[in-house]
Amino acid sequence: MKIVIGTSPGEVTLARWRAEFPQVEFAVPMGPAEGVAAARDADAWIGRIPREAFLAAGPGLRWVHSTGAGIETLAAIPELVESDVTVTNTRGGHAPTIADHTFALLLSLARKLPALQADQREHVWAGAGSRVGMRQLGGMTMTIVGFGNIGRAIGKRAVAFDMRVRGVDPFPGETPPGVEAVWPLDRLDEALAETAALVVAAPLTPQTRGLIDARRIGLLPPGAYLIAISRGGIVEEAPLIDALAAGRLAGAGLDVTATEPLPPDDPLWDAPNLILTPHCSGASRQTTERVWELTTENVRHFVAGRPLTNICDKRAGF
């Protein structure tokens, strides 16, 4: 059996795999050409397999595992979507840290931390003037678009802040304790009209691309906040910039953008009351440990011929 390591877990985990699964060849290609060559007789690929490597793969390839939560790059390979190859991800591994990051952005905006830090750099004690516009989270209505593991982790924290919480999801599922409701996607417009803090935690799919467009940004009440932490391309950025410049939104936090890395001349850099972070919301030691624990467990299942966990719907894109 041969498993290609497209995304390395690091030497310690790789050594553990080789010790636990001596019957498996773990191939670590150095560059695209080696990846294509390694794919030819591979049984599985750990990481987001490039299209050229997938096309080179032989009939033995049965499993592709994304070490992230999103699979949009895999769903964009039509031959993979149409194949019998199983795609899995590390669903749930990133959720706690991304939820923490969501509240770091929201609290920074509500408590005006960027302005306070600017005063600190200038050695200015602004006093009462610095308090204008500060807000508490308790009592706000938060709408979370995409109520999977990440959305639910965000909702759990919002409930602890005494916020009124609603989820919106194409597949609503069970409503967790403290959450007011989980609505289907066709009630998104209704939810937006009552939203003080909108969080976009949905995967990027054909259904969600451009979902938060100019019209829907316009449905948010004046003074609302918008946080995007899943994938760029769901929130249309030009109308977001317009809403911030006009003062219709109190602020926004983006950990994801349509183009990454964000070009130096992109207008997002200079939008008022916008906090940008470079797609790092899932970064933590604990996330890394969870991701490779989930991956290791699926390697065990694959080697033993048992059903895999976290199987994705390739056509739906998540």
Strands of 184-248, DSSP E: 197-200, 224-228
Here the tokens at position 244 are 């911030």
Q: How far is CA 128 from CA 124, 133, 280, in A?
A: 12, 11, 34
Q: Is 316 exposed, middle or buried (0-12, 13-18, 19+ CB in 10 A)?
A: middle
The DSSP output letter for 220 is S
Q: Is 114 exposed, middle or buried (0-12, 13-18, 19+ CB in 10 A)?
A: middle
Q: Is 23 exposed, middle or buried (0-12, 13-18, 19+ CB in 10 A)?
A: exposed
- Residues designated catalytic: 231, 260, 279
Are 151 and 144 in contact, with CB atoms under 8 Å apart?
yes
CB atoms within 10 A of CB 271: 20
Alpha helices in 193-281 (DSSP H): 214-219, 237-245
Report phi then psi at 314, rounded to 5.
-65, -35
CB atoms within 10 A of CB 193: 11
Report phi then psi at 128, rounded to 5.
-60, -30
Q: How far is CA 47 from CA 8, 11, 111, 137, in A?
A: 8, 16, 39, 38
What sign has the CA pseudo-torsion 144, 157, 318, 71?
positive
